[in-house]
Amino acid sequence: MTETLGIVGGGQLGRMLALAAARLDVRVVVLDPTPNAPAAQVSNEQIVAAYDDVSALADLASRCDAITYEFENVPAAGLEALESGGKLRPGRAALAVSQDRLTEKNFFVSVGLDPAPFRQADSHADIVAAASELHQGRSDGEVIVKTRRLGYDGKGQARVTVDQLESPTAQDTEDLHEYLGGVPLVVEKLVPFDYEISVIGARGLDGSVALYDPARNTHEDGILATSTAPSGADGDVVVQARQATTDLLHGLDYVGVMGVEFFVNPDGSLVVNEFAPRVHNSGHWTEAACLCSQFEQHVRAVTGRPLGNPRRHSNAEMRNLLGDPLPTATDMTSQGDWMVHLYGKGEARPGRKMGHATRLTGPA
Has residue 173 got a pLDDT over 70? no
Alpha-carbon distance 281 to 263, whole Å?
Answer: 17
* Whole-Å CA distances, 163 to 16, 44, 146, 175, 268: 46, 56, 18, 14, 30
Provide mean pLDDT across the span 151-161: 75
List of domains in the chain: 4-88 (3.40.50.20), 117-189 (3.30.1490.20), 195-363 (3.30.470.20)
Confidence label for 27 from pLDDT (cuts 50, 70 and 90): very high
Alpha-carbon distance 187 to 214, whole Å?
Answer: 27
Sign of CA dihedral 189, 190, 195, 198: positive
Distance of CA 8 to the CA centre of its chain: 15
Has residue 317 got a pLDDT over 70? yes
Confidence label for 174 from pLDDT (cuts 50, 70 and 90): low
* Whole-Å CA distances, 142 to 10, 188, 255: 38, 9, 37
Has residue 265 got a pLDDT over 70? yes
If we measure between CA atoms, which residue out of 8, 57, 11, 56 comes closest to residue 28?
Answer: 8
Q: What is the mean pLDDT of the chain?
A: 91
pLDDT score for 170: 47
Half-sphere exposure of 327 (CA within 13 A, CB side): 4
CB contact set of 240 (below 8 Å; sequence gap of 6+)? 269, 270
pLDDT score for 171: 44
pLDDT score for 135: 86
Helix (H) or strand (E) holding 21: helix 12-23
If we measure between CA atoms, which residue out of 46, 41, 2, 42 comes closest to residue 25?
Answer: 2
**Least confident window among 144-153, 186-195, 215-224:** 144-153
> For the stretch 17-50, what's the b/e string if a residue is b when 16 or more beta carbons lie within 10 angstroms of its beta carbon?
bbbbbeeeebbbbbbbeeeebbbbebbbebbbbe
pLDDT in tens, 343-362: 999 889 888 999 999 999 99
Has residue 172 got a pLDDT over 60? no
Provide mean pLDDT across the span 312-329: 92
Q: Are 31 and 11 in contact (CB under 8 A)?
A: no
Has residue 13 got a pLDDT over 80? yes
Question: Phi, psi at residue 37, to the nearest 5°?
Answer: -60, 160
Helix (H) or strand (E) holding 253: none
Alpha-carbon distance 251 to 246, whole Å?
Answer: 8
pLDDT score for 250: 96
Residue 237's Cβ-count burial label (10 Å; 0-12, 13-18, 19+) is buried
Alpha-carbon distance 75 to 41, whole Å?
Answer: 24
pLDDT score for 75: 79
**Least confident window among 106-115, 173-182, 327-336:** 173-182
Sign of CA dihedral 3, 8, 12, 13: negative
Has residue 152 got a pLDDT over 80? no
pLDDT score for 320: 96
**Least confident window among 129-143, 157-171, 222-236:** 157-171
Task: State the pTM of this model.
Answer: 0.93
If we measure between CA atoms, which residue out of 36, 33, 45, 34 comes closest to residue 4?
Answer: 45
Has residue 136 got a pLDDT over 80? yes
